Amino acid sequence: MKALSVAQALLWARQQLEAMDEAALDAEILLAHAIDKNRTWLKTWPEYILSEDQASRFEDFISRRRQGEPTAYIIGEQEFWSLTFKVTRDTLIPRPETELLVELALQRIPSDQMYTIADLGTGSGAIALAIASERPQATVWALDMSEPALKVAQANAESNQIDNVAFEQASWLSEWQHGLLDMIVSNPPYVAPNDPHLADLVYEPVTALVAEDKGLSDIREITQQTTGHLKPGGHLLFEHGFDQGAAVREILQQAGYEQIETVKDYAGLDRVTLGLCSKG
């Protein structure tokens, strides 16, 4: 590539990515990362000439993005709940719609009392760390069966200086031995194995995405395992697919949960279903 200024590099990249949503934003994020600056710096120095190394890094990033690799994996991080999360190919990229689950959880967690929460299938730690950052007096357990994902989550706790989170490698609550919980939250795999959207998600770990039984098998298994682990009146909250609200409500109902409701996300789609553990 010939010597290019920041402005020229961005123009070239936008043309390369023109078929993709967010081409302009991706171009800026990738260029900022390639030259180790932030996006404000790019706007301040549009005439800065990229070194050969910087230009070749940027070219490589744009070529990977053109092939469909998510920007978050190329730069190795993603913003969620105003925190910066390291992400790798072992972790799902945290999605903006998952902030609804965090919001609903926080509405139910007192800010002046001890409270114990488990985040099942924590991945990068997005949900557990967002909750823990807002409720320093609470203890949040972050569980995942994937050891590499848990290592990323632990690194994210350290980089965000959050110390009220404990980590455990386990399949859901099958080995839980830490007493009764006030709340369980989970964004489990919920994509059906034959869902056509999977074709757009080839970079993310299939174990983070896909569940049998029309995407409901993990939600069903987790719900069954919560029996005996939640305090009476404790909360269970699931993120799920836009067309799974009725099925998840029924799963919670059959397990004896009360005050079950489904909450829509900002796009108006069913996204989170929650219920209260029966007081018996």
Ligand X SMILES: C[S@@+](CC[C@H](N)C(=O)[O-])C[C@H]1O[C@@H](n2cnc3c(N)ncnc32)[C@H](O)[C@@H]1O
Candidates 171, 217, 225, 278; binder of ligand X (CB under 6 A) is 171
Cα–Cα dist 29/74, whole Å: 10
Candidates 116, 146, 160, 273; binder of ligand X (CB under 6 A) is 146
The answer to whether residue 130 forms part of the interface with ligand X (CB under 6 A) is no
Burial of 108 (0-12, 13-18, 19+ CB in 10 A): middle
Q: Which is nearer to ligand X, 8 or 154 (CB)?
A: 154
- # chain residues binding ligand X, by CB under 6 A: 21
The answer to whether residue 144 forms part of the interface with ligand X (CB under 6 A) is yes
Candidates 7, 75, 145, 247; binder of ligand X (CB under 6 A) is 145
Question: Least distance to ligand X from the beta carbon of 107, Å?
Answer: 18
Question: Least distance to ligand X from the beta carbon of 4, Å?
Answer: 36
Strand partners, 276: 235, 258
Written as six digits, the tokens of 259 are 């005050």
The answer to whether residue 176 forms part of the interface with ligand X (CB under 6 A) is no
Cα–Cα dist 99/105, whole Å: 10
Q: Which is nearer to ligand X, 55 or 216 (CB)?
A: 216
| Distances from the Cα of 21 to the Cα of 26, 56, 127, angstroms | 9, 24, 26
Candidates 55, 62, 72, 98; binder of ligand X (CB under 6 A) is 98
According to DSSP, the β-strands at 77-80 and 83-86 are antiparallel
According to DSSP, the β-strands at 270-276 and 258-264 are antiparallel
Question: Least distance to ligand X from the beta carbon of 102, Å?
Answer: 9
The answer to whether the CB of 132 falls within 8 A of the CB of 102 is no
Identify which range of 1-9, 66-74, 122-130, 269-277 contacts ligand X by CB under 6 A: 122-130
What residues numbered 102-121 form the site for ligand X, per CB under 6 A?
121
The answer to whether residue 155 forms part of the interface with ligand X (CB under 6 A) is no
The answer to whether residue 126 forms part of the interface with ligand X (CB under 6 A) is yes
Identify which range of 6-14, 67-75, 187-195, 265-273 contacts ligand X by CB under 6 A: 187-195
| Residues shown for the chain | 280
The answer to whether residue 265 forms part of the interface with ligand X (CB under 6 A) is no
For residue 46, count other CB atoms closer than 10 A to its CB. 12
The answer to whether residue 133 forms part of the interface with ligand X (CB under 6 A) is no
Cα–Cα dist 200/191, whole Å: 12
Q: At CB < 8 A and 24+ separation, what contacts does 37-44 make?
A: 42/6, 42/10
Residues that bind ligand X (CB under 6 A): 92, 94, 98, 121-124, 126-127, 143-146, 149, 171-172, 187-189, 207-208
